[in-house]
């Protein structure tokens, strides 16, 4: 019989006589069922042991007893009972973490902690194991050396599919409108939920669709969104943007499209690991955040935004816990995309000691996870000033690639104008004097050299305000005037942008495709205006 890693580890701890084991999990019933199965299996646990549970509401109860022992409801009375019990046994204490000081406003119950340490020799001598089962991990410093933490994994695809089969067993066969492939997709979409959460989501889908069909997958993702919202440090980003909404950056888009579906089983046939992530740096307003939002649609995965401002909470120690919570949530809803916007603002101060090392500890947690993570969580980090980032974050192994997004080239500006004119002008009933024709886009692109994508969008919006005020359709002259009235970032921050391009020359890959930059690849003197032509970044193409 095949055993899970959790079952084997738990059996080894019990056989070795470990006195205290801590299992943090919300899935109480599933943990209890697993512990009973492990203890009752003579191939795993060699000697016979009773399994007894304790809760403050009932006291200690053995599975083969008529009822709970009400005299042991108080936690101290329960520990007295455990200390006097002289046969090998496994005691499961539910929610005992409330006595360990679960937050910094609640003091630990030192008398109980002292009692746990007093009965420690008796537990070892009589081969008894005490398991703390709680939804959150709280370990008093006095017991760190005596206690082993055992992670209880979320249900795998086999468990979820078995539960789904049990749910649908009583339904009419005609109401199950799923192919074999769609059923596997549905099961995979529920990975990251607890068994109870998955069951609730499936029940809701059955009621809503009067059976089950492929639309149930979207319902499962809605339930995953609930998990994200509860964290308080992650934000679920719902995006309907596509690759077509990104004007230019073809090299970056090709790289992302090539790695689509690499977290699925088919990629394992090629021995491919799931991609770790990508760091996008460059000129502000040139499509970094837009690319992150469009990825959710391109890959068909939930997009989670990590707010570094919420990570660094006001209470001492809460920042580290917030980062761990964010990582755990991202892995719980995997496969997913984790977007860290303006990452330099969160990790720029890791070398200083002004915050008593909090930034360094949070950064270390994130760095270790980036290096060792096995869950299919793709990290897309964006940065406007990459020089402020610690060098440890930039080395290979953290991110698969670093892309540099420069000011758009002539061809990219044409595409950006086309995107915004189609979006705001072509569909309008009153703005019919100009449209997104190639000739118009080319003329506007020629006029807007040195503009970022955001500046192009604002120029289009400003021209529409002029047309609205005059109560007429949009004209070519409105657009040209808006462009000429705009002072672009390439002029106001020329020195900073030149320095940024110099950094990226050998360290990053250019996000623009070769065919889009050929028109602009020409020499220019150092005294010339900042131009997008001779861009920073290595010339690497990711052809499809």
Has residue 96 got a pLDDT over 90? yes
Has residue 104 got a pLDDT over 70? no
Buried b / exposed e across 256-273, counting CB within 10 Å, b at 16+? Answer: beebeebbeeebeeeeee
What percent of the chain lies above the pLDDT cut of 90?
A: 34
pLDDT in tens, 6-33: 999 999 999 999 999 999 998 999 999 9
- Sheet of 401-405, strands arranged across: 234-237, 303-306, 336-340, 377-383, 277-282, 401-405, 509-510
Q: How far apart are CA 372 and CA 354, in angstroms?
A: 29
Q: How far apart are CA 398 and CA 340, in angstroms?
A: 14
Residue 339 tokens, joined: 């977007």
Nearest to 258 by CA among 246, 240, 237, 243: 243
pLDDT the model gives residue 530: 47
Whether the CA torsion 182, 183, 184, 185 is positive or negative: it is positive
259 and 382 in contact (C-beta within 8 Å)?
no
Count of beta carbons in the 10 Å neighbourhood of residue 485: 10
- Sheet of 89-94, strands arranged across: 59-62, 50-55, 89-94, 128-134, 20-24, 147-149
**Mean pLDDT, to the nearest integer, of 332-355?**
74
Token look-up 């406007």 returns 384
Residue 207 tokens, joined: 């009621």
pLDDT in tens, 258-292: 988 888 778 888 888 888 899 999 888 888 888 98
Residue 505 tokens, joined: 């020359």
Residue 175 tokens, joined: 């109401």
Count of beta carbons in the 10 Å neighbourhood of residue 335: 22
pTM over 0.75: no
pLDDT in tens, 480-503: 999 999 999 888 888 888 888 888
Whether the ω angle into residue 335 lies within 30 degrees of 0, i.e. cis, is yes
Has residue 472 got a pLDDT over 50? yes
Residues whose CB falls within 8 Å of the CB of residue 197, separated by 6 or more in sequence, listed in order: 223, 227
Count of beta carbons in the 10 Å neighbourhood of residue 295: 24
Calculate ∠ Cα 481-482-484, nearest 5°. 65
pLDDT the model gives residue 352: 54
89-94 and 147-149 as β-strands: parallel, antiparallel, unpaired?
unpaired
**Mean pLDDT, to the nearest integer, of 93-99?**
95
Strands (E), 219-276: 234-237
**Mean pLDDT, to the nearest integer, of 346-360?**
64
Has residue 452 got a pLDDT over 60? yes
Q: How far apart are CA 60 and CA 97, in angstroms?
A: 17
Residues whose CB falls within 8 Å of the CB of residue 325, separated by 6 or more in sequence, listed in order: 231, 233
């Amino acid at each position: 019989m095949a055993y899970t890693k959790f079952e084997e580890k738990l059996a080894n701890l019990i056989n070795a006589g470990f006195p205290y084991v801590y299992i943090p999990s919300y899935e109480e019933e599933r943990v209890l069922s697993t512990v009973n199965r492990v203890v009752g299996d003579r191939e795993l646990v060699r000697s016979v042991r009773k399994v007894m549970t304790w809760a403050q509401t009932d006291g200690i109860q053995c599975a083969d007893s008529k009822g709970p022992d009400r005299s042991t409801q108080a936690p101290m009375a329960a520990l007295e009972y455990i200390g006097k019990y002289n046969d090998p046994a496994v005691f499961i204490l539910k929610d005992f973490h409330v006595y360990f000081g679960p937050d910094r406003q609640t003091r630990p119950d030192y008398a109980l902690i002292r009692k746990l340490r007093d009965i420690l020799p008796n537990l070892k001598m009589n081969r008894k194991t005490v398991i703390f089962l709680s939804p959150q991990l709280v370990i008093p410093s006095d017991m760190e050396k005596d206690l082993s933490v055992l992670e209880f994994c979320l249900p795998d695809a086999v468990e979820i599919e078995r539960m789904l089969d049990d749910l649908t067993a009583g339904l009419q066969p005609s109401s199950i409108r799923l192919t074999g492939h769609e059923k596997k997709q549905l099961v995979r979409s529920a990975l990251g939920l607890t068994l109870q959460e998955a069951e609730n989501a499936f029940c809701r889908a059955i009621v809503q669709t009067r059976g089950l069909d492929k639309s149930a997958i979207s319902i499962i993702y809605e339930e995953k969104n609930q998990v994200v919202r509860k964290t308080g440090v992650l934000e679920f980003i719902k995006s309907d943007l596509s690759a077509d909404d990104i004007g230019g950056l073809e090299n970056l888009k090709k790289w992302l499209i090539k790695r689509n579906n690499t977290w699925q089983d088919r990629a394992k046939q090629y021995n491919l690991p799931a991609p770790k992530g990508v760091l996008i740096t460059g000129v502000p307003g040139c499509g970094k955040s837009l690319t992150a939002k469009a990825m959710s649609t391109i890959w068909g995965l939930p997009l989670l935004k990590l707010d570094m401002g919420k990570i660094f909470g006001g209470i001492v120690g809460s920042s580290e816990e917030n980062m761990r919570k964010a990582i755990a949530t991202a892995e719980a809803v995997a496969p997913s995309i984790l977007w860290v916007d303006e990452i330099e603002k969160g990790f720029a101060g890791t070398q200083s000691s002004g915050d008593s090392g909090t930034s360094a500890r949070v950064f270390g947690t994130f760095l270790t996870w980036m290096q060792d993570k096995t869950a299919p969580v793709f990290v897309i980090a964006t940065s406007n000033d990459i020089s402020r980032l610690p060098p440890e974050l930039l080395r290979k192994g953290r991110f698969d690639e670093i892309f540099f997004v420069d000011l758009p080239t002539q061809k990219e500006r044409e595409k950006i104008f086309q995107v915004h004119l189609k979006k705001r002008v072509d569909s309008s009933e009153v703005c019919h004097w100009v449209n997104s024709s190639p000739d118009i886009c080319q003329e506007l692109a020629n006029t807007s050299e040195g503009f970022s994508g955001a500046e192009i969008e604002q120029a289009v919006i400003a021209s529409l305000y002029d047309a609205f005020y005059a109560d007429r359709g949009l004209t070519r002259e409105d657009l040209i005037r808006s462009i000429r009235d705009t002072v672009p970032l390439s002029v106001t921050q020329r020195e900073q942008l030149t320095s940024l391009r110099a950094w990226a020359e050998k360290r990053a890959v250019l996000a623009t495709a070769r065919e889009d930059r050929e028109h602009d690849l020409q020499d220019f003197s150092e005294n010339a205006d900042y131009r997008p032509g001779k861009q920073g970044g290595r010339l690497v193409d990711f052809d499809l």
